[in-house]
Amino acid sequence: MEQLFEQLIQGVLDESFGSADGFISETLANDLRDRISELEAASELKKAGIGQATTFRKDGEVRRDRIHWLEYSTDHPAELAYFEIIRRFCGYLNATCFTAINDFEFHYACYDEGAFYKRHFDQFALDSGRQYSLIVYLNEAWSDADGGHLKLWLPGGEKEVAPLNGRAVFFKSDEIEHAVLPAHKPRMSVTGWLKSMRP
């Protein structure tokens, strides 16, 4: 696992973003997809919005994904396993990069056919808690023709990353603008942020 953590970190140092295939196992990816199916059947996936608190709004011209927040109190085995990986990664970051990560938040993000999320930063203007963005994809048998790529605006130019099953993408939340290009079939991920919150 530490080799994958290093791969993500080194990518940020070298190219301003890191990518690692196999960040989660195929079994865990399958179980998280099944969890999304359960939430879908229970109508628990909600249209996502933009902004925070008083600036929060839903704008279908900016983003069209549906989300469900993972709860710290979950007793779902797949979510517990995912959180354990995230805790290990946070600990590794703090130990090797002297970061001060002490919190995280994640949601399932589901893009129906044609859905997208336009160019944006992940850190809020009035809240600097989000330090790093981490996306883990849950898409079986994905091809370039299926679209839904993550587009990153990097110091060295633009980059597109395919949302392949088990792949993780990692970058600084306040530095890298990015977008989700339109998907041509349903596209799923666990998307979230490693945070540094004041006591």
Contacts of 50 (CB under 8 A, 6+ apart): 56, 57, 58, 59, 62, 63, 120
Res 123: pLDDT: 75
Dig out the tokens for 162 from the structure.
Answer: 């395919």
All residues at 6 or more sequence positions from 109 whose CB lies less than 8 Å from its CB, including other chains: 48, 65, 66, 67, 188, 189, 190, 191
Residue 26 is predicted with a pLDDT of 96
Residue 177 main-chain phi, psi, to 5 deg: -75, 145
> Which tokens go with 66?
């549906």
Count of beta carbons in the 10 Å neighbourhood of residue 159: 17
Neighbouring C-alpha atoms within 13 Å toward the C-beta of 49: 9
Q: How many residues are given for the chain?
A: 199
Domain at 2-50+63-195, CATH from 1.10.1660.10, 3.40.250.10, 2.60.120.620, 3.40.50.300:
2.60.120.620
pLDDT for 49: 64
pLDDT at residue 51 in the model: 57
Task: Using DSSP, state whether 116 is helix, strand or coil.
Answer: coil
Exposure of 64 by Cβ count < 10 A (0-12 exposed, 13-18 middle, 19+ buried)?
Answer: buried
* Residue ranges in the chain assigned as alpha helix (H): 2-15, 26-41, 77-97
pLDDT at 54: 46
- How far apart (Å, rounded) are the C-alpha atoms in residues 88 and 35? 22
pLDDT, residue 84, reads 97
What stretches in the chain show pLDDT beneath 70? 49-61, 124-127, 198-199
The pTM assigned to this predicted structure is: 0.91
15 vs 171: CA distance, rounded Å: 10
